[in-house]
Amino acid sequence: NWPGDKITPRRRTVVLLSLRRGSSAETTLPVFSARGGHCARVKTAANADHRGSAGPAGQLHSGAERPAAATKGVMKADEMLILENFINGKFEPVAETIENVDPSTGAVYSRLPNSGSREVEKAVQAAMQAFPTWSLKSPAERSKFLIRIADLIESRLDDFAQAESRDQGKPVWLARTVDIPRAVHNFRHFATTAQCDREMAIPQQTSNVLHYTVRSAVGVVAVIVPWNLPLYLLTFKLAPAMVYGNTVVAKPSELTSVTAWMLAKVFVDAGLPPGVVNFVFGFGPIVGDALVRHPNTKAVSFTGSTKTGTTIAQMSAPHAKKLSLEMGGKNAAIVFEDADLKKCIATLIKASFLNQGEICLCTSRIYIHKKIYQKFTDTFVQEARKLKVGPPQSESVFMGALISKEHLEKVKFYIKLAMEDGGKVLCGGLREEPDLPKENKNGYFLLPTVITELPHTSRCIQEEIFGPVTCLAPFETDLEVVEKVNGVSYGLCASIWSKDVGRIHKMAQRLDVGTIWCNCWMVRHLHMPFGGMKMSGVGREGTDASREFYTEVKSICLDYS
């Protein structure tokens, strides 16, 4: 079995090894990661204060533990990048650093701070000090900063795309066309919509009373984001938090912190007041734990694993914090016999394997009507085999590298489990290897994998794998497929493929998921609420939903007689 009693989908707590003091030389010891990361290393000068040892039970992490890095401008292939915390408008180094690996080569290329509770405390204090002034600015004033930030990111789009690709392993074309433009859009969207908000007013004329509502910022918000869409998801949370008057302490994933550090430089260049946004880098069980437990963080917006999300809920309960938790998913597609197979297969190939399958919204289960099951399966496998896997810098690849060696091994472990459960691997899997250049032989690559003939009870059907693996199964009746789609603990999203609009509408209402795409996938609009049901999440984000989360509403009753 995998380390531990049961694989927890998405991410697991890091076990940190204590460092001995007293040596006159620099000390390097491994840090074991139990999900999606590799054996990172903590580097510390002799007698330095160590904050990387394991903390109390219930510690947090925001992603599979592969540490991250930093950059200044364009990233060069041969330079060691050093990341610093961003607190109160200044960049601050930490004595201990964590080595970070380029997932496409397996080579160390950067270091980030191994921050602790003291850095978190300093960041929270900075955010608290900035809050009164920032929250009293008008939405129009705050929006100007967001527009300026969006413009600066856009002017450095290629730098951000190159950095995101190298740090995360995704193809650079994907970062250039999706991740970074979406980050720009996040700031522009919320900068615009915040200036068009409405409040409620109800006159009670018989008694000369006016009832109305006003909103105020929550306060200091903790933002914790994962490694799969680093800048995309970070800005999706930062933009509304900022524009509604909150100040933020953000903890990017220790696996992918480069673009957050670059964003901090953008904040400086945009003239953002000190303390409005602070970044503390390091391991989740240390930084995340301290941030969530801090009595002065009034809300927590988190994207990551269900295990970590439920732990955050437990930690937050004593302080009654507001929570937005977007967690794991085991997303399904339903393909009816009248579906447009050409469009359906082309889209579901992307839904299954885009970003190496490392998107919470990726499709990992496809249920096909029995009448077209064989035709669909043959064509789907044929198309999956055409996908090119290779160096993320190549414009011709569809898939880059998985986030880390250990995450690669975890995905392979699930494939092995599928085979033990009687599953049939139709392409990819453990026996086929991608054709890679010499410099990428030590990278973390896996071919698109398609599996059939698995029982519904298989862990590969029930648990989130978070990699380029999808499972196909036939169905005959609407009731049967609804039971299968709903028969997992997750409820993030699904897609339905049919030409019968009435059937689609009825089916969509029966699925226990937060987002349902009909004859499409990953078509998002920021005005729409986003979030999951069941163990996939608590709360929603999006234009109105984000406003609800990042503000407190007050009812005021005025007697004007």
Q: What is the CATH number of the domain that holds 353?
A: 3.40.309.10
Residue 22 lies in a domain: no
Residue 216 sits in the same domain as residue 356 = no
Strands 107-113 and 81-82: parallel
Give residue 76's pLDDT: 52
Arithmetic mean of pLDDT over the chain? 89
Residue 56 lies in a domain: yes
Q: What is the pLDDT of residues 472-486, one digit of tens each?
A: 999 999 999 999 999
Alpha-carbon distances, residue 120 vs 88, 128, 129, 135, 435 (angstroms): 12, 12, 14, 21, 44
Q: Per-residue confidence at 55, pLDDT binned at 50, 70, 90?
A: very low
Q: What is the pLDDT of residues 255-297, one digit of tens each?
A: 999 999 999 999 999 999 999 999 999 999 999 999 999 999 9
Q: Per-residue confidence at 77, pLDDT binned at 50, 70, 90?
A: low
Task: Kindly tell me the burial class for residue 76, based on how many C-beta atoms sit within 10 Å of its own C-beta (0-12, 13-18, 19 or more).
Answer: exposed
Residue 188 sits in the same domain as residue 317 = yes
Alpha-carbon distances, residue 196 vs 143, 255, 368, 538, 542 (angstroms): 11, 37, 44, 26, 15
Q: What is the pLDDT of residues 381-402, one digit of tens each?
A: 999 999 999 999 999 999 999 9
Find the angle CA(225)-CA(230)-CA(233) to the nearest 5 degrees.
60
Strands (E) across 417-492 are located at 424-427, 449-452, 469-475, 490-491
Cα separation, 489 vs 533, in Å, equals 9
Residue 444 sits in the same domain as residue 374 = yes
Residue 109 sits in the same domain as residue 219 = no
Asked whether the beta carbons of 194 and 147 are under 8 A apart, the reply is no
Residue 18 lies in a domain: no
The structural domain count of the chain equals: 3
CA-closest candidate to residue 63, choices 404, 452, 548: 404
Give residue 532's pLDDT: 97
Residue 126 sits in the same domain as residue 107 = no
Give residue 205's pLDDT: 80
Residue 21 lies in a domain: no
User: Catalytic residue among 99, 119, 326, 464, which?
Assistant: 326
Residue 14 lies in a domain: no
**Which residues are CB-neighbours of 413 under 8 A, at least 6 positions away?**
2, 7
Does 326 qualify as catalytic in the annotation? yes
Residue 172 sits in the same domain as residue 263 = yes
Residue carrying the six token digits 């392993």: 169
Strands 322-326 and 299-303: parallel
Residue 7 lies in a domain: no
Residue 471 sits in the same domain as residue 549 = no
Of 113, 131, 151, at which residue does a domain stop? Answer: 113
Residue carrying the six token digits 């995704």: 170
Strands (E) across 162-319 are located at 201-204, 209-217, 220-224, 247-251, 277-279, 299-303
Residue 367 sits in the same domain as residue 467 = yes
Residue 1 lies in a domain: no
Residue 153 lies in a domain: yes
Residue 373 sits in the same domain as residue 269 = no
Asked whether the beta carbons of 123 and 131 are under 8 A apart, the reply is no
Residue 346 sits in the same domain as residue 465 = yes
Q: What are phi and psi of 369, to 5 degrees?
A: -60, 140
CA-closest candidate to residue 296, choices 274, 319, 276, 279: 319
Instruction: Return the percentage of the chain with pLDDT > 70, whole number.
Output: 86
Residue 443, domain extent: 331-534
Give residue 71's pLDDT: 36
Residue 141 sits in the same domain as residue 211 = yes
Of 50, 83, 113, at which residue does a domain stop? Answer: 113
Q: What is the pLDDT of residues 178-203, one digit of tens each?
A: 999 999 999 999 999 999 999 999 99
Residue 371 sits in the same domain as residue 310 = no
